[in-house]
Amino acid sequence: MPALYSAAVPERRVAAVRRFTRFYTRRIGVLREHLLDSAFSLTAGRVLYELAQWPEGSRPTATALAAKLELDQGYLSRILRGFTQRGLVRKGKHAPDGRQRPLELTAQGRRAFAPLDARSRAEVAALLASLAAPEQQRLVGAMQAIEDLLGAGDDDARARAVPYLLRSHRAGDMGWVIHRHGALYAQEYGYDERFEALVATIAAHFIEHFDRDRERCWIAEMDGEIVGSVFLVRKTSTVAKLRLLLVEPRARGFGIGARLVDECVRFARAAGYRRLVLWTQSELAAARRLYERAGFRRVRAEAHRSFGKKLVAETWELGL
Distance CA 209, CA 207 (A): 6
Residue 91 has pLDDT above 70, yes or no: yes
Region of poorest pLDDT, from 117-126, 226-235, 254-263 = 117-126
Are 148 and 249 in contact, with CB atoms under 8 Å apart? yes
- Could you read off the pLDDT of 27-65 as tens digits, one per residue? 666 555 555 556 777 788 788 888 877 765 567 788 888
| pLDDT for the residue 126 | 81
Distance CA 130, CA 137 (A): 13
| pLDDT for the residue 94 | 56
Domains defined along the chain, listed by start:
11-130 (1.10.10.10), 165-319 (3.40.630.30)
Region of poorest pLDDT, from 27-41, 70-84, 180-194 = 27-41
Distance CA 146, CA 138 (A): 12
Determine the average pLDDT of the residues in 166-191. 94
Region of poorest pLDDT, from 10-19, 237-246, 308-317 = 10-19
Residue 159 has pLDDT above 50, yes or no: no
What is the side-by-side order of every strand in the sheet holding 216-222?
A: 165-168, 216-222, 225-234, 239-247, 275-281, 309-319, 297-306
Closest CA to 152 of 71, 226, 253, 262: 253
| pLDDT for the residue 58 | 64
Percentage of the chain surpassing pLDDT 70?
84
Distance CA 243, CA 316 (A): 12
Cβ neighbors of 263 (< 8 A, separation 6 or more) are 166, 216, 218, 230, 232
Distance CA 227, CA 219 (A): 8
Determine the average pLDDT of the residues in 291-309. 94
Residue 307 has pLDDT above 70, yes or no: yes
HSE-CB for 232 with a 13 A CA cutoff: 27
Would you place residue 1 in the very low, low, confident or very high pLDDT band (cuts 50, 70, 90)? Answer: very low
- The pair phi, psi for residue 2, each rounded to 5°, is -60, 145
Q: Are strands 89-91 and 225-234 parallel, antiparallel or unpaired?
A: unpaired
Would you place residue 127 in the very low, low, confident or very high pLDDT band (cuts 50, 70, 90)? Answer: confident
**Length of the chain counted residue by residue:** 320
